[in-house]
Amino acid sequence: MTALSLLFMAVFIALITAESSVYFREQFEDGDTWRSRWVESQHKSDYGKFVLSAGKFYGDAEKDKGLQTSQDAHFYALSSRFADFSNKDQPLVIQFTVKHEQSIDCGGGYIKLFPSDLKQEDMHGDSTYNIMFGPDICGPGTKKVHVIFNYKGKNHLINKDIRCKDDEYTHLYTLIVNPDNTYEVKIDNKKAESGSLEEDWDFLPPKKIKDPEAKKPEDWDEREKIDDPDDKKPEDWDKPENIPDPDAKKPDDWDDEMDVEWEPPMVTNPEYKGEWKPRQIDNPAYKGKWVHLEIDNPEYIADNEIYKYDSVGVIGLDLWQVKSGTIFDSFLITNDPKLAEEVGNETWGATKVCFFNYYLSILNNFSLNCNFDKISHFDVFVPLRMLRRR
């Protein structure tokens, strides 16, 4: 094969590798037809019901429709299948929007990505998944973005705390997993966290461990300061902490035989100096803090494919909510982070701008071509009041 042929082949492979693929996209723009694409689990008989709704307020009455939880204090289990793929040698991008318009107090807003062998009718909380990603709120103490990967049969939580949005508006969540074992979490198309899969999860044993053969020498002195051996306690130092009150007088009517022997009450001794301690001096034998020698961990084996899943074929909503009303929309699974960003701007970004501009139009008394068929007085009044304070 000639050098020119090799160059052509390399360019051809690069073009194929760089090609964008959309594995799953759901906008819920065709009414109740979504029910033919999403399957409700029958693992339990009392799962909560999802309904199609744009909620109480929105930027576009049709484009902002999504799956909304409708029953308080229920588990939910719904999933949708797509063509099986592997993210080997390519990025994996998961993106969707979440709107907690019910002022959620405790409940999940995350998705799970499953291998294609999942039995959707039996999906439940213990079903094996590849990735769990999205916001989770429960009281003031838990307001985080979950990023959990299944690696070699075990679920691993991220070691970092990524705070999620806890207001009542729609927010865009994006997870990017790269083939170089790096990741990025974006909220509203802005980076919230990024780093290395190996460093930010406990997938692998540590590279270094303490040498089991290393021992601190018995004469190793870690005391930076010691008692001054020449410092002596003064002879008059020891005084009682409390003494009988010298000003106390036995009452005239006190009868020692009837009332037992009279004793004056105790008071704090003004001459009491507390416990004596010798002054501290630098320790001439101080050698510093002993550091345990580390060696390469024989159990550590590098893995350049932590990021990889051989099978990805189902996306699911498997969660619990105390107060229902969360809306999920704009699902996207692709291998192109740039495409995901553009889709986010064209969907979430467009309706967000339209919604905000609607308030501005009321303040400034000009017309705006946005579809607002269902905005309550409360929904308008509160943001308007906030804008007027600016």
How confident is the model over 165-188, as pLDDT tens digits?
999 999 999 999 999 999 999 999
Binding-site annotation: residue ranges for Ca(2+): 27, 63, 65, 329
How confident is the model over 63-79, as pLDDT tens digits?
899 999 999 999 999 99
Q: Which residue has the higher pLDDT, 235 or 39?
A: 39
Lowest mean pLDDT among 45-54, 191-200, 231-240: 231-240
Structural contact between residues 315 and 113, judged by C-beta atoms closer than 8 angstroms:
yes
Q: Which residue has the higher pLDDT, 370 or 322?
A: 322
- Quick check: is 118 in a domain? yes
Q: Which residue has the higher pLDDT, 383 or 116?
A: 116
- Is the pLDDT assigned to residue 7 strictly greater than 60? no
pLDDT band at residue 255 under the 50/70/90 scheme: confident
Residue 282's pLDDT is: 95
Of all residues in the chain, the percent with pLDDT exceeding 70 is: 86
How confident is the model over 282-323, as pLDDT tens digits?
999 999 999 999 999 999 999 999 999 999 999 999 999 999
- Is the pLDDT assigned to residue 253 strictly greater than 90? no
Question: What total number of domains does the chain contain?
Answer: 1
- Quick check: is 369 in a domain? no
pLDDT band at residue 360 under the 50/70/90 scheme: low
The mean pLDDT value for 267-271 works out to 92
- Quick check: is 236 in a domain? no
- Quick check: is 384 in a domain? no
pLDDT band at residue 385 under the 50/70/90 scheme: very low
Residue 61's pLDDT is: 87
The mean pLDDT value for 218-236 works out to 93
Q: The dihedral of CA 377, 369, 27, 20: what is its sign?
A: negative
Mean pLDDT for all residues in the chain: 88
Task: Read off the CATH number of the domain in which 313 is found.
Answer: 2.60.120.200
Return d(Cα 10, Cα 16) in angstroms, integer.
Answer: 10
Residue 358's pLDDT is: 53
CA nearest 29: which of 9, 55, 5, 54?
Answer: 54
- Would you state the structure tokens that stand for residue 213, as one six-digit string? 């053969």
- Quick check: is 242 in a domain? no
- Is the pLDDT assigned to residue 388 strictly greater than 70? no
Lowest mean pLDDT among 84-88, 130-134, 150-154, 233-237: 233-237
pLDDT band at residue 390 under the 50/70/90 scheme: very low
Binding-site annotation: residue ranges for an alpha-D-glucoside: 110, 112, 129, 136, 318
- Is the pLDDT assigned to residue 111 strictly greater than 50? yes
Residue 274's pLDDT is: 92
Binding-site annotation: residue ranges: 27, 63, 65, 110, 112, 129, 136, 318, 329
- Would you state the structure tokens that stand for residue 282, as one six-digit string? 């630098």
Domain of residue 105 covers: 17-205+304-355
Number of CB atoms found within 10 A of residue 35's CB: 11
- Quick check: is 102 in a domain? yes
- Is the pLDDT assigned to residue 354 strictly greater than 80? no
Q: Which residue has the higher pLDDT, 37 or 5?
A: 37
Residue 364's pLDDT is: 57
Residue 362's pLDDT is: 52
Residue 340's pLDDT is: 97
The mean pLDDT value for 240-255 works out to 89
Lowest mean pLDDT among 120-129, 212-221, 314-323: 212-221
Return d(Cα 197, Cα 180) in angstroms, integer.
Answer: 9
- Quick check: is 287 in a domain? no
In angstroms, how far is CA 186 from the centroid of its own chain?
12
- Is the pLDDT assigned to residue 281 strictly greater than 50? yes
- Quick check: is 378 in a domain? no
- Is the pLDDT assigned to residue 214 strictly greater than 60? yes
CA nearest 76: which of 115, 28, 110, 99?
Answer: 110
In three-state secondary structure terms, 13 is: helix
Q: Which residue has the tokens 């999940």?
A: 108
